Amino acid sequence: VPSPKVSDTVVEPYNATLSVHQLVENSDETFCIDNEALYDICMRTLKLNNPSYGDLNHLVSAVMSGVTTCLRFPGQLNSDLRKLAVNMVPFPRLHFFMVGFAPLTSRGAHSFRAVTVPELTQQMFDPL
């Protein structure tokens, strides 16, 4: 989803709007990620003054890594993309997913930051 905070490309809203029809018709699963929400998470939760594209991409890669865990490790449920779509999509045209992830940590904070249970719970239910 385009955002003026992240990109100043003039045609970005047009690209997003015009691509929706193709995503509805030709895609089985679509994961929607809001660029402005990523920027706000970096600013408010991770306390980064000037988030870079690397910081935003770190969040996206962590979320998508969590989504695809069932594809990389053996298990009974959702072992491939087709099974994931069958279990998650109630109707063929309703295949747009909003992703959520916790704990939220910046790239430099992995080695020394311990997350408490109340903080983790707040991150899970925070509507950001």
Q: Is residue 32 part of a domain?
A: yes
Q: How many CA atoms lie within 13 A of 80 on its CB side?
A: 1
Which pLDDT score, from 0 to 100, does residue 69 have?
85
Residue 53 in domain: yes
Phi, psi angles (nearest 5°) of residue 45: -85, -45
- With respect to residue 54, please indicate whether it lies within any of the assigned structural domains: yes
Is there a domain that residue 51 lies in?
A: yes
Q: Which two tokens mark 28?
A: 């089985």
Burial class (CB in 10 A: 0-12, 13-18, 19+), 38: buried
Residue 5 inside a domain? The answer is no
Residue 6 located in a structural domain: no
Q: How do the pLDDT tens digits run along the chain, 128 residues long?
A: 777 777 778 888 899 899 999 999 999 999 999 888 899 988 888 888 898 889 999 999 989 988 888 888 887 776 788 888 888 888 888 899 888 887 777 776 655 667 788 887 887 777 55
Range of the domain at 115: 12-125
* Cβ atoms of residues 30 and 85 within 8 Å: no
Euclidean distance between CA atoms 70 and 31, whole angstroms: 16
Is 21 part of a structural domain of the chain? Answer: yes
Is residue 55 one of the residues assigned to a domain?
yes
Domain CATH for 30? 3.40.50.1440
Helix or strand holding residue 98 (H, E): strand 96-98
Q: What is the pTM of this model?
A: 0.74
Domains in the chain, number: 1
